Structure 1
Amino acid sequence: MPLENKFSWRPNDNGPITNLRYDLEASKWLNSVNKAKSRLPRSNFAGDLGFFGAVLTIPLCLIIFIVLIPIALIREVIGYNIKLLPGDEPTGWVKKNDIYRVDYTRANELKAKHERKKRKTQWEDLTSKEQEMVRYVQAETAKLYDKPNLKSN
């Protein structure tokens, strides 16, 4: 069956001359396919990402330039606040000359409420035995600094 000559116009034997001809034909086909590939424009992944990044940032830039900048200018120049988000100040005229005042009663309430959570100093955290060890180490290091330098010149 493999030696049947189904393609009468092409030799089907496994001879060296036939193999050489097929190798030459295959190399020509490969060269032509590679040339065709090189002629096609290649896609650049970084360039594609840059394009999609630009497409995604255009709406954000439009929102900033068309909505947020004019609202900020209206607030600063005219003195009228426009509420956009739930946490913003209410819509209305901005009090420009209002001096910021501290609510001392509220500050004192908060201070008293959180007084018990105040962190202790390091010395208060030590036990009496640890305090005694610290004093001993301090005394020994003081003795070291009081001794004259024994190195000879």
Structure 2
Amino acid sequence: MATALQQQLAQIAKKSTDQLDLKAQRAQHSKSLLFDARVAANQTFETIYQICAEAFQELCMLDARFAPFAANLFSEQSKSEERINLTKKENEDLDQIIDSFLGLVSSRLLLRPGLKAVEWLVRRFRYSYSTSDPIRYQTQC
């Protein structure tokens, strides 16, 4: 039976290997609600951000309750924020913010801006749905 330290080191080693595995990174980056996997794999975060931020602005025009999310989920900083570098608490806080956004946008998912805004959560923050676990950050794809 592995000690707690051995388990932690194994998790760190796995994450490090995944970060260096370009094929795994491309596969993860190609998951998209809007685009074919080949198109999605070739998009930069800057391109994705531009598409999704414009959609987010449209949502803000439809409903002012979206505006607070400009300071976190749709900020310029969000383009460079890596969940793997966040602490467990910071990831949990981010999950709560995303949950709040999803609750608000859920009634607008049939609108193109709503779907495009959710694309940012999926592509940048690696948010996904699992039947065994509610929508949460997935470290493995």
More helix by share: 2
- The higher radius of gyration belongs to 1
